[in-house]
């Protein structure tokens, strides 16, 4: 079915199509914005002062003069008989209201120096500037619709006249599908276009303008201008030449790949031609992609890869503590100042894979998960490990250790051990008070043996730690109202 343009309503005043962006409605008819004015005084109207009569628009004053009641008390005030029909206002109103007086009565300026519209002298008080010329303020109007202009909406036409933006677009703007008159319309109205041809301007093929050797487009050798410039690998390309050499796909700065042959490719063609080849590459697993290459050529281009870095031995004391292999940055795991392979960073007992939150450094320079660390190095006895069972991993009676504190192990050096038991404290069970380090199981009140934490800990002047009640009991203030209740004086 052939394409049919949308039929638009016609303006009753100028009989041209009215579009939604400029329509004004009165009396059931649609008018252009610039046609929506009084027939007699040419005053622009709106919905509050518009009166319609036989498709003609009037302001309320002119409508009352022409069609309103006449006689005593009407029109001209009480005591007057008025027959004014307003015909004297219906004279042909020119779009261009010239300044007071004709050109003959005004001082005419020398040729090319006066107002371009009326030719008279333009004085500073009424000067408006456009296209390097001075205009009278009264003459500074659109040549088509006579709309008053200013510096914001003035457009200079190629015919040395000035226009508003709408009329300029109609007369000099692009024509065709999607321009000027809305989608679906081809605008070639000679009333607006004048002598302007609607035929497409000839397109110059810049590829035919040859550049100096080594300075033009790498594909066609033509001169590249800024409006069509595309950059790749330090060279300038025409936008129409910036395509993949193999599949001819149009490229941009994101998908363009510079090939070693100084040409450009899309990512797919680049991968096929210059990417890795072999099992799992380019054509998916199960295919051997060689593109005509021999086995020797493929072997020569294939990089050497040793997946097992544990076989690369490091210098003594510098490698992974478990396997002794060299540890590279991509697989590095840190524990107790030593670097481990990611595959070796597991519990020494249950071989559970560890990370920085699960790993516990043991006294034997190995790493354990928290469960295995507690089983082998944690406190033993009632309430620990396997409560409510009494457990002794070495067969001793747990009654010998009523406080479940260690009796063997590595003693802290230079007084750096736990202040209560003297044994070395590891990071997994460390508790800190006033820059002193304690075992978690030893972190109890020196008087009542209550377990402490950061909320109820109080450092005593005796170098030990106490809960808040015991601290107040032994080191707090004494006297009436303190310690032993109101009314009691104590010097204990």
pLDDT at 394: 55
Question: pLDDT for 216-228, tens place per residue?
Answer: 898 888 888 888 8
State both tokens at 291.
Answer: 């593109």
pLDDT exceeds 90 at position 244: yes
Contact (CB, 8 A) for 379 and 404: yes
Contact (CB, 8 A) for 439 and 423: yes
pLDDT exceeds 80 at position 447: yes
Share of the chain above pLDDT 70, in %: 70
pLDDT exceeds 80 at position 67: yes
- Where does the pLDDT of residue 350 fall: very low under 50, low under 70, confident under 90, or very high at 90 and above? very high
pLDDT exceeds 50 at position 76: no
pLDDT exceeds 60 at position 60: yes
- Where does the pLDDT of residue 141 fall: very low under 50, low under 70, confident under 90, or very high at 90 and above? very high
pLDDT at 492: 44
pLDDT at 79: 43
- H or E segment at 295? helix 295-301
- Cα–Cα dist 428/422, whole Å: 17
The closest alpha carbon to 206, from 234, 253, 240, 230, belongs to: 240
**Ordered DSSP codes for 54-96:** TTEEEEHHHHHHHHS--STTSSS-TT-------GGG-SPPPSS
The closest alpha carbon to 52, from 69, 35, 75, belongs to: 35
pLDDT at 1: 55
The closest alpha carbon to 371, from 380, 381, 358, 383, belongs to: 358
- Where does the pLDDT of residue 316 fall: very low under 50, low under 70, confident under 90, or very high at 90 and above? confident
Buried-state track 347-370, b at ≥16 Cβ within 10 A, e below 16: bbeeeeebeeebbbbbeeebbbbb
Q: Which CATH architecture has domain 141-193?
A: Ribbon (2.10)
pLDDT exceeds 70 at position 40: yes
Determine the average pLDDT of the residues in 153-174. 87
Determine the average pLDDT of the residues in 387-394. 49
Question: pLDDT for 171-184, tens place per residue?
Answer: 888 776 555 444 44
Decide which of 259 and 405 is more confident. 259
pLDDT exceeds 70 at position 169: yes
pLDDT at 63: 87
pLDDT at 295: 66
Determine the average pLDDT of the residues in 264-276. 87
Question: pLDDT for 331-347, tens place per residue?
Answer: 888 887 788 888 899 99
Alpha helices in 401-486 (DSSP H): 468-475
Lowest mean pLDDT among 38-47, 108-117, 461-470: 108-117
pLDDT exceeds 50 at position 353: yes
C-alpha separations of 265 from 64, 72, 111, 261, 479 in Å: 77, 92, 63, 10, 92
- Where does the pLDDT of residue 369 fall: very low under 50, low under 70, confident under 90, or very high at 90 and above? very high
Whether domain 208-274 has CATH 2.10.110.10: the reply is yes
What CATH class does 309-377 carry? mainly beta
pLDDT at 59: 92
Whole-number average pLDDT of the chain? 76
- Cα–Cα dist 266/247, whole Å: 8
Going through 259-343 in order, the beta strands assigned E by DSSP cover 264-265, 332-335, 338-341
Asked if the domains at 208-274 and 309-377 fall in one CATH topology, the answer is yes
Long-range contacts of 376-380 (CB under 8 A, 24+ apart): 376/349, 377/426, 378/429, 379/404, 379/405, 379/406, 379/441, 380/404
* In the chain, where the domains are located: 141-193, 208-274, 309-377
pLDDT at 386: 45
**Checking phi first, is residue 367 left (phi over 0); if not, alpha (psi -120 to 50) or beta?**
beta
């Amino acid at each position: 079915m052939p394409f049919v343009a949308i039929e638009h309503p016609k303006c009753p005043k100028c009989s041209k199509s009215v579009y939604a962006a400029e329509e004004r409605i009165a009396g059931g008819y649609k008018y252009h914005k610039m046609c929506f004015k009084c027939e007699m005084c040419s005053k622009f109207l709106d919905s509050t002062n518009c009166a319609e009569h036989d498709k003609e628009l009037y302001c309320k004053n002119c409508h009352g003069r022409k069609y309103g009641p006449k006689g005593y008390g009407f029109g001209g005030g009480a005591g007057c008989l008025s027959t004014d029909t307003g015909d004297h206002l219906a004279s042909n109103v020119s779009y261009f209201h010239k300044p007071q007086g004709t050109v003959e009565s005004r001082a005419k300026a020398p040729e090319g120096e006066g107002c371009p519209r009326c030719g008279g002298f333009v004085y500073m008080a009424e000067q408006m500037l456009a296209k390097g010329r001075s205009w009278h303020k009264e003459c500074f109007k659109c040549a088509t619709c006579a709309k008053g202009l200013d510096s914001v909406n003035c457009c200079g036409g190629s015919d040395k006249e000035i226009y508003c933006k709408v009329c300029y677009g109609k007369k000099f703007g692009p024509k065709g599908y999607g321009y000027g008159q809305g989608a679906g319309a081809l605008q070639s109205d000679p009333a607006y276009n004048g002598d302007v041809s609607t035929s497409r301007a000839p397109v110059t093929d810049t590829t035919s303008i040859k550049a100096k050797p080594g300075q033009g487009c790498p594909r066609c050798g033509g001169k590249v201008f800024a409006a069509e410039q595309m950059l790749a690998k330090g060279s300038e390309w025409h936008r129409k030449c910036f395509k993949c050499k193999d599949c001819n796909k149009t490229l941009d700065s994101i998908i363009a790949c510079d090939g070693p042959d100084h040409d450009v490719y899309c990512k797919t063609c680049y991968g096929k031609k210059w990417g890795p080849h072999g099992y799992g590459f380019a054509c998916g697993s199960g295919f051997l992609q060689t593109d005509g290459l021999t086995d020797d050529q493929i072997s020569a281009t294939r990089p050497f890869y040793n997946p097992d870095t544990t076989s690369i031995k490091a210098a003594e004391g510098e490698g992974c503590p478990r396997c002794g292999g060299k540890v590279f940055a991509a697989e590095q795991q840190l524990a107790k100042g030593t670097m481990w392979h990611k595959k070796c960073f597991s519990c020494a007992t249950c071989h559970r894979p560890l990370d920085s939150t699960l790993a516990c450094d043991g006294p034997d320079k190995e790493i354990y998960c928290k469960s295995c660390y507690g089983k082998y190095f944690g406190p033993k006895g009632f309430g620990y490990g396997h409560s409510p069972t009494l457990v002794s991993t070495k067969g001793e009676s747990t009654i010998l250790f009523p406080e479940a504190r260690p009796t063997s192990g590595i003693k802290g050096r230079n007084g750096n051990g736990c202040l209560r038991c003297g044994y070395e404290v590891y990071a997994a069970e460390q508790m800190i008070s006033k820059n002193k380090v304690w075992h978690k199981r030893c972190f109890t009140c020196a008087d009542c043996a209550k377990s402490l934490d950061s909320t109820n800990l109080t450092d005593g002047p005796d170098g030990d730690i106490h809960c808040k009640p015991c601290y107040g009991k032994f080191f707090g203030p004494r006297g009436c109202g303190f310690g032993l209740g109101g009314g009691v004086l104590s010097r204990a």
